Structure 1
Amino acid sequence: MYKIDAPAQLIEQVYDAILDAICSGTLAPNEKITQEGLAEQLGVSRQPILQAFQLLKRQGFIEDAGRKGVMVTALDPTRLMQLYQVRSVLDGLAAREAAERWKRDGDERSAGEREGRALIAAGRAVSDMGDLSARIVADMNFHQFIYRSCGNPMVGETTALHWHHIRRAMGAILSSDVRSHIAVWDEHEAILQAIIDGRAAVADKLARQHAESAAEHLARVLTSEEYASKRKQA
């Protein structure tokens, strides 16, 4: 984690730093954390840590661990599978609507194609890097681009309610060797191309399959011996 610069929106900065560490796996599931330890790492007082803890507890990222502070909650496979089931439907809808929208509006299509291809290039550039946070951000940026492109703000607003939990799941997937990072971006590119070509049904199908494939790989990660070992070590 990084040191926090001074006061403006300090609680939000502390919250973001802790959440980023949880989503990237720097703070592992079941790992115990204390106000004192994080205050020292982040270079802040205990007060903003306490307030950030309260937010993170309400959102289900940490839980009380007796007198020793709090600990990072374990990823719940059942809840995440349910979340990905909903996500697959929304991703399919977003891709379908984006394709239909771009088919009707050439200017939207041209601008969207430029932005989409730039995001694909950026994602491929970081796919083999050791920076897990950068890979998660690149993945998130692509999907949020599709949500924006569909023209229905309710899609983005609905996914935003659970996006940090999806982000955490992405961290578990991308930190494993189960799924090729290159294959992920090949799938992204296929979705984008279907949208550019105006093939709404194909874009819908590919986006759903992409989310379903991610869910399958996530299930494998969460039931793997390697993941179980990491949890015990935490």
Structure 2
Amino acid sequence: MTQIRTGPSLTQQVYDAIANEIFDGALPAGAHLVQEQLAERFGVSRQPIQQAMALLKADGMVAEIGRRGLQVTPLDLDLMRHHYDIRAVLDGLAARGAAQRCRDDAATARDLAERGDKILKLGETAVRNGAVGDQVRHDAEFHGLIYEGSGNPLLDRAAEPHWRFLRRAMSDVLRHAQLPDEIWRQHAEILQAVTAGQPERAEELMMRHDLDAAGALETALRRRPDEAPESKKTP
């Protein structure tokens, strides 16, 4: 029987295109989004635009501004912290699971070590070149490798919405402030603990890495005088 292969839906393609422009700063906070103009620009009907806008609203990247349509929202620092708190737990669980598998299977350990080392080199090169998009992309690849290595296919899926939100925060900060090179040193340390089969240490290092990153991002964003992000007090 011939299998039907499908690519991303129009809605997903529009979502990805707009989200990437928000991540890259082409659509800064406050940018006005008019659905008719977007439909014409992307060469699609209004339906996938409306559906993509609904997804972007659900992810907190755009908000309605009355009859004027929608606009890109400023970053909410409290919400960013909440995303990081959840991601730290998921990432820690992934690191523990990956380390347990490496402890039990030398082939898995060798595979993760080899693939992880390549990502580390790419990330370090991106830092030296000041390539913001590549830094964020390779960071996601590293964490994706740990999710995969955990053997739990639900972890990557559970973490995905948090990554969507945090990718924007990471990109925004890297365009305006220099995060410490410590990030990639920590990645190397996490990879070493995982491939050495040390579950407790791998989990601890990963959770500390995520929470340290949250603190660094928040500090950098609060220091920016040109665009003060939101900080809502939640009940």
Q: TM-score, normalised by structure 1?
A: 0.84
Give the letter aligned to residue 211 of structure 1: D
Alignment partners' CA distance in 1, 2:128 and 2:38: 30
2:133 pairs with 1:97: no
Number of matched residues?
Answer: 224
SS at match of 1:175: helix
Contact 1:20-1:133 at 8 Å conserved across structures:
no
Partner of 1:25: 25
2:141 pairs with 1:146: no
Contact 2:87-2:162 at 8 Å conserved across structures:
no
Alignment partners' CA distance in 2, 1:103 and 1:196: 8
Partner of 1:208: 207
Alignment partners' CA distance in 2, 1:162 and 1:69: 25
Shift of 1:217: 1.1
Alignment partners' CA distance in 1, 2:90 and 2:228: 34
The 5-angstrom pairing of residues 34-49 of structure 1 reads: 34-39=34-39, 41-42=41-42, 44=44, 46-49=46-49
Contact 2:75-2:229 at 8 Å conserved across structures:
no
Partner of 2:233: none
Contact 2:221-2:228 at 8 Å conserved across structures:
no
SS at match of 2:225: helix
Alignment partners' CA distance in 1, 2:207 and 2:176: 22
Structure 1: which 5+ runs fail to align? 1-6
Alignment partners' CA distance in 2, 1:133 and 1:212: 21
Shift of 1:66: 2.5
2:219 pairs with 1:185: no
Shift of 1:216: 0.4
> What is the RMSD of the two structures over their aligned residues, measured on CA atoms?
2.5
Shift of 1:176: 3.2
Alignment partners' CA distance in 1, 2:43 and 2:130: 25
Partner of 1:64: 64
* Identity %, equivalent residues: 36
1:55-114 superposed Cα distances (whole Å, 9 cap, x missing partner): 222332211123332101221111211221122222222212211210110111111111
Structure 2: which 5+ runs fail to align? 1-6, 231-235
1:184-223 superposed Cα distances (whole Å, 9 cap, x missing partner): 2111111111112222222222111110111101211332
Give the letter aligned to residue 222 of structure 1: L
Contact 1:178-1:217 at 8 Å conserved across structures:
no
Alignment partners' CA distance in 2, 1:155 and 1:10: 26
Give the letter aligned to residue 166 of structure 2: I
Shift of 1:178: 4.0
The 5-angstrom pairing of residues 153-232 of structure 1 reads: 153-180=153-180, 182-226=181-225, 228=227
Shift of 1:39: 4.4
Alignment partners' CA distance in 2, 1:11 and 1:86: 27
